[in-house]
A and B are shown apart, each in its own frame.
Chain A
Amino acid sequence: MEGRGGLHPAIEEVTRILSPFCASLPSYAAIMPELKLVYFNARGRAELARWILAYGNIAYTDERIEMDDWPEKKKTIPTGKVPVLMVDGKPLPQSMAIARYLARLANLVPEDPLEAAYCDALTDTLSDVATEGYKIMFSSKTEDEKKQEYREQFFPNIMKPVLERLEKRLSNREWFASQLTWADLMISMVFGEVHKRKPEMLQPYPSVVALSLKVRGLPNVKKWVESAPETQF
């Protein structure tokens, strides 16, 4: 059924009937689908979805699986992979598809298709960066070897080119696009974390740091980041 977002047809009907009386309600606050996010007890590839949900003040169940329980739990998940977002019981896989969908619900996707595409491109790029980072993190090298690889390979070859372009873009604009979008949330999520652990690496990129801290200062985001479970990755 056509309509706003993924709302159940019956809910669409109720919303249509009530809307003359509730014109001031934000479109997404009316009624939401039932959402459950399933992932490991980690930030990883689910954290962007959690940030977006927190920003949008969207109710959901944050189901976390401990590594010991994973072999059993895996069998119950249709694609056998996480994260997966259960939307009214239907499984939506793929971290970026999940994040983009939630960003729409939270009004964090630009109306203009080209602007929206730029947000897609930026988030895909940061996702690629994360993939390279995870490769090192989960490799069988020693901790010292990993640190060396981050320092000598990952940071200069993978992260630095992205930072340089981002810094240029953000140096004379308030947000990545023409208003706050899920792209800003992902920038803050990724580089705010770098800033926590190795602030000196971001010294040449003050605009990236400023944006990261600004987003982390937004009330709903701040609340989430401060209350979220501390995990290794």
Chain B
Amino acid sequence: MADMKLVYFNARGIAEIIRWICKQADIPLKDERFETEEWDEKKKTIPGGKVPVLLVKEYALPQSLAIARFVAKKGGLVPENDLEAAFVDALADTLYEAKNEFYKTAMSEKSDEDKQKIWKEEWLPKTVVPIMDKLDKRLKDREWYVSDKMTWGDLAMALFFGDVKELQTDAFKNHAAIAAHTAKVQALPKIKSWLQTRPVTKF
């Protein structure tokens, strides 16, 4: 089968989870990126006019989480058990919503200083910490988020919390289990390699 192609801005954004899953599961993926200035022209060539989009065979699959779930299934990173799979979906949705709030501020007209203030003084304590509290508790006596092996939920977590740590280096001072889990996923050879070689972008 010809390689699938992911089309997105030259950014991590909401497409990054797809890249992590494909790297970890050795799924060949063409990673097509375009610059913001090219978007107006590019948009006309994309069915549905939204990115990310996954071009697979003659189809164009939109919606970042639908794409993520699809490649995760291909890569054996979706739990067999339906309820466990649903809990991973719910986790991914929750992290997506939290990141969306972050992006809203990122895309606003505020100064960089104001944005940092909002992220650190509002987003972190009000949106992120409650999520961290629950996940830290869960990870205290388990290796992975759900089931007895790694799933795309663990990748989504490490991706999200890795970014949180970039924002505030001591973010996990009260959440040791999350710190350990994030480090563990980031140390996986294929993820580690991707983190070292991926394009460096603001978001």
Binding site for B on A (CB under 8 A): 1-6, 33, 78-80, 87, 90, 92-94, 96-98, 100-101, 104-105, 113-114, 116-118, 120-121, 124-125, 161, 165
B31 to chain A, nearest CB (A): 19
User: With A114-B70, A121-B61, A121-B66 in contact, is A5–B93 under 8 Å at CB?
Assistant: no
Tell me, in angstroms, the Cα distance from A113 to B1 when the chains sit together. Answer: 15
- Contact B63–A120 (Cβ < 8 Å): yes
Tell me, in angstroms, the Cα distance from A114 to B178 when the chains sit together. Answer: 33
Contact of A100 among B47, B62, B74, B86 (CB under 8 A): B86
Tell me, in angstroms, the Cα distance from A138 to B96 when the chains sit together. Answer: 22
- Contact A114–B61 (Cβ < 8 Å): yes
Tell me, in angstroms, the Cα distance from A161 to B62 when the chains sit together. Answer: 14
- Contact A92–B86 (Cβ < 8 Å): yes
- Contact A87–B83 (Cβ < 8 Å): yes
Residues of B50-88 whose CB lies within 8 A of A: 56, 59, 61-63, 65-67, 69-70, 73-74, 80-87
Q: Which residues of B contact A113 (CB under 8 A)?
A: 70, 73-74
Residues of B75-110 whose CB lies within 8 A of A: 80-87, 89-90, 93-94
A157 to chain B, nearest CB (A): 12
Tell me, in angstroms, the Cα distance from A173 to B151 when the chains sit together. Answer: 35
Q: Which residues of B contact A114 (CB under 8 A)?
A: 56, 59, 61, 70
Interface membership of B28, Cβ < 8 A: no
Contact of B82 among A79, A80, A96, A101 (CB under 8 A): A101
B69 to chain A, nearest CB (A): 6
Q: Which residues of B contact A100 (CB under 8 A)?
A: 86, 89
Question: Which chain B residue has the least Cβ–Cβ distance from A102?
Answer: B86
Q: List 8 A-B contacts (CB under 8 A).
A: A3-B81, A33-B83, A93-B90, A94-B89, A113-B74, A117-B61, A120-B70, A121-B61
Interface membership of B198, Cβ < 8 A: no
A80 to chain B, nearest CB (A): 8
A108 to chain B, nearest CB (A): 12
Q: Which residues of B contact A121 (CB under 8 A)?
A: 61-63, 66-67
A84 to chain B, nearest CB (A): 9
Q: Which residues of A contact B67 (CB under 8 A)?
A: 117, 121
Q: Which residues of A contact B59 (CB under 8 A)?
A: 114, 118
Q: Which residues of B contact A104 (CB under 8 A)?
A: 82
Tell me, in angstroms, the Cα distance from A111 to B56 when the chains sit together. Answer: 18
Tell me, in angstroms, the Cα distance from A120 to B96 when the chains sit together. Answer: 15
Interface membership of B125, Cβ < 8 A: no
- Tell which of B47, B56, B69, B86 has the most Cβ of chain A within 10 Å: B86
- Contact A97–B61 (Cβ < 8 Å): no
Q: Which residues of A contact B49 (CB under 8 A)?
A: 161
Tell me, in angstroms, the Cα distance from A136 to B164 when the chains sit together. Answer: 31
- Contact A125–B62 (Cβ < 8 Å): yes
Tell me, in angstroms, the Cα distance from A121 to B90 when the chains sit together. Answer: 16
B72 to chain A, nearest CB (A): 10
